């Protein structure tokens, strides 16, 4: 009997252990499912511009007064007939769409830039690639300005700085004193010491990423190359997530986004696998992703990008979104999976 009792007790313990493991697995699965299903399912495509149908280069910020998310974007003139060469990518305004949750976006209009910005006095000034940030009650917008409409890519372009108290009325603060007169695609990140770093694409070096530093967003010192491994690309976006700095760049063509990781925002290690380098399954997602934006919401991260649908709509572009995941020390995402999104107001 003692031996039988001992065996029964062992069996009981084993059964309890198995039951406990089962409940842990169920709880873990439920938590993961809850996380993955938080928010509405984003439509594919997420957003198309109703005026020119050329939405690209998104930058997203929270309007603290209206309690809405605003997407500022380059609005290429994709549906305007008779435009030759690359003139359809020039003469472009910066469009604005709004959303309360990040899933449903509605066209709002265009940015009313101040008239004293250099090189914008003509009837159709060219604005590209907005980048927004907020500090001490002021919204800051950095944007590329091209002095006119051109049939090729050989002309100067600069990054200018404007500010606003309300995301409606803007003041020209200056043109950034960067290393050359052919620069595009700014992005800005605040560093732990309170200073700011701006990354941009230097087109005169074969399209590589450079950076500049500022103590206050108004005074900038160019620091030269960001020294990214395999660094030919454009449209950098920087953010801090899961204990690392991350820098994503558009690798050009249709080969997706390069991802770089750093502990100090200076020395970068390239992620082995690119992001968005394969076509999606949706009809508007048939090539690599371009010009990223990342919005952090709670402990989640959402990657916005634009994409061309392909033949025969080579000019048209749409905005898409996918949730970023952190796995084995690197970034990953599944552009074909449903994206549940809920953008929370920043703390």
Would you state the pLDDT for residue 288? 84
Query: In angstroms, what CA-CA distances link 127 with 77, 130, 198, 300?
Result: 12, 8, 18, 31
Tens-digit pLDDT profile for residues 49-62:
999 999 999 999 99
pLDDT greater at residue 299 or residue 230 = 299
How many Cα atoms occupy the beta-carbon half-sphere of 19 within 13 Å? 6
Q: Which two tokens stand for residue 36?
A: 């993955």
Tens-digit pLDDT profile for residues 253-266:
888 999 999 999 99
For 37-341, the fitting CATH number among 1.10.3720.10, 1.20.950.20, 3.30.70.360, 2.115.10.20 is 2.115.10.20
CA–CA gap between residue 325 and residue 322 (Å, rounded): 10
Structure confidence at residue 278 as a pLDDT band (50, 70, 90): confident
Would you state the pLDDT for residue 37? 61
- Distance between the two ends of the chain, CA-based, in angstroms? 65
pLDDT greater at residue 215 or residue 230 = 215
Tens-digit pLDDT profile for residues 294-341:
999 999 999 999 998 876 678 999 999 999 999 999 999 999 999 999
Q: Which two tokens stand for residue 137?
A: 């009650």
Q: Judge whether residue 83 has pLDDT over 60.
A: yes
Q: Which two tokens stand for residue 129?
A: 């690639």
- Tell me how far the alpha carbon of residue 103 is from its chain's centroid: 15
Q: Judge whether residue 280 has pLDDT over 90.
A: no
Would you state the pLDDT for residue 283? 66
**% of the chain with per-residue pLDDT over 70:** 88
How much is the average pLDDT of 172-180?
98
343, 40 contact by CB (below 8 A):
no
Q: Judge whether residue 28 has pLDDT over 50.
A: no
CA–CA gap between residue 333 and residue 302 (Å, rounded): 10
């Amino acid at each position: 009997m003692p031996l039988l009792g001992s065996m029964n007790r062992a069996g009981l313990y084993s059964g309890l252990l198995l039951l406990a493991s089962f409940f842990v697995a169920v709880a873990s699965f439920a938590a993961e499912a809850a996380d993955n299903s938080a928010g509405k399912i984003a439509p594919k495509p997420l957003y198309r511009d109703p005026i020119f149908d050329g939405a690209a280069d998104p930058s997203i910020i929270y309007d603290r007064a209206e309690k809405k998310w605003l997407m500022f974007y380059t609005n290429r003139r994709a549906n305007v007939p008779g435009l030759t060469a690359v003139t359809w990518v020039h003469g472009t305004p910066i469009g604005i769409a709004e959303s309360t949750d990040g899933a449903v976006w509605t066209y709002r209009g265009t940015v009313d830039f101040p008239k004293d910005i250099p090189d914008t006095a003509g009837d159709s000034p060219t604005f590209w690639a907005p980048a927004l940030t907020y500090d001490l009650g002021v919204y800051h917008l950095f944007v590329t300005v091209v002095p006119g409409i051109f049939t090729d890519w050989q002309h100067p372009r600069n990054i200018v700085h404007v500010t606003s108290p309300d995301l409606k009325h803007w003041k020209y603060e200056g043109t950034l004193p960067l290393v050359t007169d052919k620069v595009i695609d700014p992005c800005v990140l605040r560093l732990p010491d309170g200073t700011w770093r701006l990354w941009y694409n230097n087109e005169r070096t074969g399209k590589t990423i450079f950076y500049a530093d500022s103590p206050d967003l108004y005074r900038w010192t160019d620091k030269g190359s960001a020294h990214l491994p395999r660094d030919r690309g454009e449209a950098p976006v920087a953010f801090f997530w899961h204990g690392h700095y991350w820098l994503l760049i558009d690798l050009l063509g249709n080969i997706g986004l390069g991802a770089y990781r750093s502990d100090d925002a200076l020395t970068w290690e390239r992620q082995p696998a690119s992001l968005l380098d394969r076509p999606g399954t949706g009809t508007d997602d048939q090539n690599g992703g371009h010009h990223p934006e990342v919005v952090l919401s709670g402990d989640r991260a959402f990657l916005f990008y634009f994409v061309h649908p392909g033949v025969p709509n080579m000019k048209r572009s749409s905005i898409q979104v996918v949730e970023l995941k952190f796995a084995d020390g690197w970034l990953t995402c599944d552009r074909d999976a449903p994206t549940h999104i809920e953008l929370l107001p920043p703390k």
